[in-house]
Every structure is written in structure tokens, then in C-alpha cells.
Structure 1
Amino acid sequence: MEEIVLQTEKKISRILIGEKIENLPHYVPSNKKIIILTDTHVLKHYRHKLPPYPVIEIGTGEGIKNLSTIDYIMGQLIRLEADRSSYLVGIGGGIVCDIAGFAASIYMRGIGFGFVSTTLLSQVDASVGGKNGVNYEGYKNMVGVFNQPDFVICDTSMLTTLPREEYIGGYAEVIKHGCIRSRELFEFLEKNAEKALAYDAATIEHCVAQSVRIKAAVVENDEREKGERRVLNFGHTFAHAIEKLTALPHGQAVAIGMNYAAFISYQLKMISENDYQRIRQLISRFQLPVNFSFDTHTLVDAMRKDKKREGDEIHLVLLESLGKAIVKPVTYNQLKTFVDDLREHQ
């Protein structure tokens, strides 16, 4: 088990990689009412491993990440007589953790919370960093808060029960971390793709630990995404629009978005053709998509509604080299030109 500490201005968050869900009671307060928030998938596979705490059960999928679910959770917390000293533990993937963190942050103006992260995407990205929230009228993460969990247990043994597509999708975020901050991680993925896809335990733990280290270092410098943290959105401006326009899961949409952002970086002569091809090929080796059919106007219009926009510009994360990302403000006219180029060359 490896522990990584994320320290922000107001809070210390412990990320425990390789810890087991059975040890959850060691990390929650002993003198408070503990309530678990989890989904039907986790209960199906792991109900027998959960401590004897009250459980609030929600469904699965992006469709439940909304204010109606928050309203339901508020009602359940009241029914369970949760007070300001109560403690909420989200057990699940990124959606459960986003919802649990948001619910805990607003219930009675805030109660303590922690996570047990059960998906690869959540362990390497979504549950780390303090972003909590829900979607609103089809737009990603429009309502939310910044608030760090006290702890995140990353039980990598739980990944074996994930649907195959969901497991593979998590590697999009690992590839992202290599692209933006660590050539070493990128090259590790090139050498160990087959082991990762075969659920090799040591390979998984290395990917999770390196991703968490990269993200924690960025978040410590810029918790509220005013500057450096924006590089973590590499591929995501395209991905959020793709998710809105298609039924693709988040990881698969991020994979396409990274390919597009890397291609634009190459077109602007920021990275070499060889580096662009390495990125595209690595995405494909992880059985992730690199393209989808789109109309320029529809895609750009969806991107205009991204929360990363500021006035008539949007912050696009591009690569200066493998392992180094920058944030480039672009106008919507420039974005349309980029997207037209994508349609022509992809």
C-alpha cells in the first residue's frame, strides 16, 4: 500500500493506493455517524465487504448525475437523522464520488466525507483533486464545488469486476497524465500496454500511483483551476462536447479529444509528427477510439457551452512536447478553423 498526501490551503487529503475496502473503518471518524453512498453495481459485487453503516443507494450512469439525485440524497440524509457531525463515504466510480462530495459539501453547509474509489478512471483522476458536482440540462459539471475528501481509498483489486469498456476507458486519463506531465509515464505505457490490458496488478498500481502523483502536484499549486490546473483538461474540451453529442463514455470521449488536441498541436508545429503519431498509436493500442463522425458547426456549438470558456475565447490545452502541456486561449473563429482541419485530416 502506498500513501500520497495532497495538501491544499485548507485541507490535507490522503490517497491510499492498494488499500482494501475492508479497512475502511480505520479511516473514518470513530465517534460520528457514518453513512455510505454507493450505487447498484457496487452493492451487487461488494455488499458483503461493506461495514455495517447505513447505505444510501443510487443508480448508475451519467444520467443520474443531476440535481434530482442530489435532492433524493438530501431527503435520505434527513431520514437517517444525519447532523453536522455525520460523515459521508462515497463508494464507487467517478460519478458516485462527484455526487457524494457535492452532497456532503452542501448538506447543513458541509459535513465530512471520504471516498472508496472503485473504477480506474476514478482512481487516476475523478476522485482526486476536490472537484465535486453534477450536470445540468445536459451540460457537464455545471453545478458544483471545490472541496477535498479527507481520504481516497484506491482498492485496485476491485477493478477486475468492472465492465471491460469501463476499465479500458480509465487508461485514457493515464495516457493524459503522461502527455501533459510525464514522458516517463508515457513511455511506460508504450512498453506495458499489454500487461495493463491483462489486469497485471503491479502495472495497474504503477499507473494509478504515477497518475495520482502528477495530479496531486498540479492541484496543490492551483486547487481552483485559475492557471496550471487547466492542463488537466487536455482532451476534455472536445470530450465534453463529444459526450453531449454521442453515447460515448467519458474515457472513450477523452481519448478522441486527446487525439484531436494532439493533432492541433502538430498542425501548429508545437510537436513533431512522430510525437503526434506516438500519441495516436498509444490511444489505439489501449483499444480506445481516436475519431468520430461530426459536423463542424454542431461540435463547435457544443464546445461554446463548455464551462472553460471566458467571453469569446475558450482555453484549449495543447502540447509543447511529450510530457509538457500549455493552455492556449483561442477564439471561436480559430476553433472553427481547427475543427475544419480535423474533419479534413482525421
Structure 2
Amino acid sequence: MNEIKVNTLSNLYSIYFSQNFEGILKLLSSYNLLDRKVCIITDSNVDFYYGQSFMNTLKTVYKDVFKFTFPAGEESKNLNTVQKIYKFFIENKLDRKSLVFALGGGVTGDMAGFVAATYMRGIPFIQVPTTLLSQVDSSVGGKVGVDFLQHKNMIGSFYQPKFVYINLSTLNTLPTKQLSSGMAEVIKHGLILDKEYFSFVESVSDETFKLDKDILEKIIKRSCEIKSNVVSQDEKESGLREILNFGHTIGHAIETLLDFKLLHGECVSIGMIGAAYISYKNNLISKKDLERIEKVLTSYKLPTRFKNLEVDKIYEQMLLDKKTKNNKIKFILLSPIGNVLRVEDLNEQLIKSAISYVKSDVQ
């Protein structure tokens, strides 16, 4: 089984790639994770396709297998849902030895990881990402948490999984909109760290939407390599890992103010154009580069403009972001494609001009 290692200060673990769920059984044995109660945490959409089959797979090696299913969507990623999961664990007598499986996308992985990190001061968990976005991004790196009072990922921690198990075949049931959302993070990886990878992604949009097995596997593995390399050097975002926030500064504000009506990747796409515009205005990339980036995002059916929000509201929301310090909004800029520059001394007028640039004239 192919694997990529993630070597953080708190944990050395691997990302495994497979075309089914059965391969996880040997891993569970080799990691000495048998003989315990286990619980699958998943959402209603993923449960429909994979909940029972994954549960049946685990039942071949575990006596007590439980499953907690929550309504799909970012709206469920909060402390109310977490409280229900805690109650479910207590009712089924899960203990410190018990094991959690996060089966689903980014919402599931973030929330299940947070539950695992805090239940009885921490129990082991395994990421089993089923969406492209979670496979290339959120399942890797140990960021876990929930939204709070409309602030995205405001409550959380860093808590690494025992391992990440990617069943590539789950992408066969992924809606096109979700596939596009995941590609935003893929494009981001190329833009910030690998110009050749960006060019490759730029050239395979048709194959990607046709779910070409070899292309998708190459994309997922390369993105996992890029993110695991960054995370291994900076587990808790004290420096280098901040570059992974390219596009997220404006994107998170839009995502929050629109009450999560746009998918995470869609908001990141808009945010990347905003950040690229600032990069252009600072003579770090050319106008041609800016137009190229937008063309690539559009080719993956991603939005590059927002509507129904005021520029000032977005700016104010950005000031509330957990990455903002002393009223200074941090930005990751391209310098040029394949390289980045971290800045926090941009003036308000320039930031607002970037927000205006990605604001649609059609309301």
C-alpha cells in the first residue's frame, strides 16, 4: 500500500492510499488498535453511501462498533453536535482505549478529531476522508475544531490522527460541486509551492471531471506530499504553515458572512483571486499571471467573485479572524507563482480594493 509519512513533533504517522476499505484492517492490526470499542462519526450524506459498508468492514475485527451520524453541512459543525457525540460516547461506555473513525469530509474530520482530542482528555482517532478537499487538505496536519458564533474554526486544537486512510474510490460518488471545491485547495498547493504542479493541474481539468483514476491519484498524492512537508516543519502554525492560508484570509470572511452558503473551496477560490490581485498590485506577479490564475479556477468550475455582501463588512470580519494580531491582517501573497511572501503591513485601502476587485457587479 502506498504511503506518505507526516513527521510532526507530537506524532509520526502515515497517509495510506487504497481503492477500498478492506485494506484498513491490516493497518489496524499492525498499529495494535484492535480489542477495543470503536465509533464511526459521519454525516448523513456519507452515511448513505458508505456508512453501513464501512461498519460491516470494521465488524469483521471488532465486537463493539458504534456509529454516530449527524446532518450533513457546515451548520452541524458546532458545540451542540459535539455535546451530542459526547453523550453518545458516554451512553455506549466508550473509554480512553476506544477508537474514533472520522468517515467523511472536512466537517466530519475536524469535528470528530476535536471530539477525540477532548473526550476523556484524548482518545485515538483515524481520518478516513471521502471528499477531495478532505483528502488533499483537512485530513492532513491535525487541525481539529468547530465553528462558534459564526466564527469558523474558532474552537479547536492540534491533534494528530493515528493515520490517514484514503479510499480513492469514494470520489466516484462525489458531486461535481464538491470535486470543484477540493480542487481549490489543490490549485492553492501549486500556486504557493510548486509551479510545475500548478501547470500540470492547469492542463488536466477535463480528465479530472471525468474522474480519471490515474490523474486523481497523482493529484491527491502530490498535494498530500506538499502539505505533509509543510506540517512536518511547522505543526502548530507558528511560521511556515501560515503559507497554507493563501486565499483563506478573504475566503473565510466571505464563507462566514454568507452563513456557509458557499462551499469552503469556493470561498478559498474567491480569496485566492483577492490575494493574487494584491500580489499584482505589489508587482509580485504580472497581470497575465493574475488572469491565468482566474482562468484555471474557472476551468474547475470555481467562482472568482462574490455578491450580496458589502466590502466594509468583509473587512470587519477579517479583523475578527483568529490569525489577525493587533488589528494587523496577515496575508499570504504570491512572489511569483510557486513562491510566497508573508505580509501583515498592508494598508486598509489596498485590502479593500482587493475585496472590491472580487465583488460582483451583479447583486
Normalising by structure 1, we get a TM-score of 0.96
Is residue 67–residue 134 contact of structure 1 (8 Å, CA) maintained in 2?
yes
Please give the alpha-carbon distance, in whole angstroms, between the structure 2 residues aligned to 1:344 and 1:197: 29
Please give the alpha-carbon distance, in whole angstroms, between the structure 2 residues aligned to 1:46 and 1:135: 26
Show the counterpart of 1:338: 351
- State which of 116, 127, 145 in structure 2 corresponds to 1:104: 116
* Structure 2 unaligned blocks of 5 or more: 60-64
Kindly state the Cα deviation for residue 20 of structure 1 after the two structures are TM-superposed: 2.2
Matches within 5 A, 1:196-275: 196-246=208-258, 247-275=261-289
Gap change, CA 1:59 and 1:251, over 3 Å in 2: same
Kindly state the Cα deviation for residue 57 of structure 1 after the two structures are TM-superposed: 1.4
Gap change, CA 1:85 and 1:190, over 3 Å in 2: same
Q: Structure 1 counterpart of 2:181, which letter?
A: G
Please give the alpha-carbon distance, in whole angstroms, between the structure 2 residues aligned to 1:19 and 1:26: 15
Query: 1:21 and 2:34 equivalent?
Result: no
Q: Which segment is superposed worse, 296-305 or 134-143?
A: 296-305
Is residue 147–residue 155 contact of structure 2 (8 Å, CA) maintained in 1?
yes
Show the counterpart of 2:141: 129
Is residue 255–residue 267 contact of structure 2 (8 Å, CA) maintained in 1?
yes
* Structure 1 unaligned blocks of 5 or more: none
Q: Structure 2 counterpart of 1:280, which letter?
A: E
Please give the alpha-carbon distance, in whole angstroms, between the structure 2 residues aligned to 1:276 and 1:7: 35
Kindly state the Cα deviation for residue 344 of structure 1 after the two structures are TM-superposed: 5.4
Q: CA RMSD in A?
A: 1.4
Please give the alpha-carbon distance, in whole angstroms, between the structure 2 residues aligned to 1:342 and 1:237: 11
Q: Secondary structure at the match of 2:136?
A: helix
Q: Which segment is superposed worse, 217-226 or 160-169?
A: 160-169
Kindly state the Cα deviation for residue 26 of structure 1 after the two structures are TM-superposed: 2.5
Is residue 300–residue 336 contact of structure 1 (8 Å, CA) maintained in 2?
no
Kindly state the Cα deviation for residue 338 of structure 1 after the two structures are TM-superposed: 2.5
Q: Percent identity?
A: 38
Q: Structure 1 counterpart of 2:197, which letter?
A: L
Q: Structure 1 counterpart of 2:276, which letter?
A: A
Show the counterpart of 2:106: 94
Normalising by structure 2, we get a TM-score of 0.92
| Matched residues, number | 344
Please give the alpha-carbon distance, in whole angstroms, between the structure 1 residues aligned to 2:168 and 2:324: 35
Query: 1:169 and 2:181 equivalent?
Result: yes
1:189-216 CA-partner distances (Å, limit 9, x unpaired): 1111111121111111111001000000
Show the counterpart of 1:69: 81
Is residue 27–residue 151 contact of structure 1 (8 Å, CA) maintained in 2?
no
Q: Structure 2 counterpart of 1:32, which letter?
A: R
Please give the alpha-carbon distance, in whole angstroms, between the structure 1 residues aligned to 2:294 and 2:242: 22
Gap change, CA 1:344 and 1:241, over 3 Å in 2: closer
Matches within 5 A, 1:293-312: 293=307, 294-312=309-327
Kindly state the Cα deviation for residue 342 of structure 1 after the two structures are TM-superposed: 4.5
Show the counterpart of 1:285: 299
Please give the alpha-carbon distance, in whole angstroms, between the structure 2 residues aligned to 1:131 and 1:345: 28
Kindly state the Cα deviation for residue 330 of structure 1 after the two structures are TM-superposed: 2.9
